[in-house]
Amino acid sequence: MNISLNSYVGEVVKFNFKTAPLFLSNKIDYCCGGKKTISDACKETGINPEQLISQLETLVAQKDPDSDYINNLGLDELSEYIVKRHHSYVRESIPVIQKNLEKICNVHGENHTELFDIMVLFDGSAGALTKHMQKEEIVLFPFIHRLATAKKENRPLPRAPFGSVSNPIETMLAEHQNEGERFDQIARLSNNYVLPEGGCTTYDVTLKQLRDFENDLHRHIHLENNILFPKAIELEKAYQ
Sign of the Cα torsion 158, 170, 68, 93 reads: negative
Beta-carbon neighbour count of residue 22 at 10 Å? 17
CATH, domain 73-238, list 1.20.58, 1.10.8, 1.10.3470, 2.30.30:
1.20.58
Q: Which of 173, 59, 165, 175 is nearest to 127 (CA)?
A: 175
**Helix, strand, coil share (%) of the chain residues, nearest 5:** 75, 0, 25
Strand partners, 37: 8
Question: Which pTM was predicted?
Answer: 0.93
pLDDT tens for residues 40-77? 999 999 999 999 999 999 999 999 999 999 999 999 99
The span from the CA of 231 to the CA of 110, in Å, is 49
- Of the chain, the end-to-end C-alpha distance in Å amounts to 31
- The pLDDT tens digits for 124-179 are 999 999 999 999 999 999 999 999 998 888 888 888 888 899 999 999 999 999 99
